[in-house]
Structure 1
């Protein structure tokens, strides 16, 4: 849902989009090295989408907000979850301006990084070389934890599914007037109530 919102807003955002494509490869688990590359095509690897991991195709426009997906350099404010705005889209770099933390207003250059994530069910580690950012017009509730915002639009076309999620979402905003909620029921129809998940065993 977050990806769909981000992609739609980007399509309405002024300017020309620049697409960056990752280089993907795999590293088989010990004992599984006999699997040949043909068993996992390039197209299959490119289509893998993982939470908190950059996509194969990253489309950006100058002026759009992004969020950093990895810790890079805490001394200059480049930490996982840092929000930034794109200033320059180069061939070999992305220039961004930091929007959060103690380094607000600083401009930095982001390089491509080689990132990896393990797929236990497929017995391999995906290795992806890509810029470690994602569009951030919208973000997940979990990713918003710890932030304080003046205005929040909460999209609950799918209701929360974990203990405390609704509280986290509603408590990000500083005033009631700054909160707008789109809620839907189990049939996807607009509703006037929200689900609040509570696990009583947590309090035992």
Structure 2
């Protein structure tokens, strides 16, 4: 959610959390030119800039946005806002691909990755 170490760790980089502790998260970059590199992402202190508050406070924030994955069979019967399909391995029948593409609310919500 923040650009921490461009060009490797920028906003939107997809990573796999390898280890997570109270103060830091160890992540491995999942896609792109820097795939496989590991980084430590610390908690960031956030302080409000509003001077009208009668008290001072801060919070520590881990700048990650979680996402989840499921198989095509588990997605049957669900409607999702956005679907990403990894087609680097072949889908074994055309019917399974059809089910996966129908899980989204609109046709513009599917993201296909074929490398």
Report the TM-score, using the length of structure 2 for normalisation: 0.55
Q: Does 1:114 align with 2:50?
A: no
Per the alignment, residue 85 of structure 1 pairs with 16
Q: How far apart are residue 92 of structure 1 and its match?
A: 2.3
Partner Cα separation in structure 1 for residue 64 and residue 81 of structure 2? 15
CA offsets, 1:29-65, max 9 Å, x none?
xxxxxxxxxxxxxxxxxxxxxxxxxxxxxxxxxxxxx
Question: Which residue in 2 is equivalent to 1:105?
Answer: 36
Query: Judging changes above 3 Å, is the alpha-carbon distance between structure 1 residues 140 and 97 closer, same or farther for their aligned structure 2 residues?
Result: farther
- 1:90 deviates by 2.4
Question: Any unmatched runs of 5+ in structure 2?
Answer: 70-79, 88-99
Unaligned runs of 5+ residues in structure 1 are 1-68, 161-165, 176-204
How far off its partner does 1:133 sit? 0.5
CA–CA separation in structure 2 for the residues paired with 1:93 and 1:131 = 8
Determine which of 173, 182, 199 is the counterpart of 2:112: 173
The Cα RMSD (Å) is 3.8
Query: Residues 105 and 140 (structure 1 numbering): CA distance in 2 closer, same or farther, change over 3 Å?
Result: farther
Q: How does the TM-score come out when normalised to structure 1? A: 0.34
User: Structure 2 residue aligned with 1:137, among 39, 51, 68?
Assistant: 68
Q: What is the distance in 2 between the residues matched to 1:140 and 1:133?
A: 20
Equivalenced residue count is: 87
In 2: Cα distance, 1:108 partner to 1:140 partner: 30
Tell me the equivalent position of 2:2: 70
Higher helix share: 1
Q: Tell me what 1:150 maps to.
A: 86
Shift of 1:91: 3.5
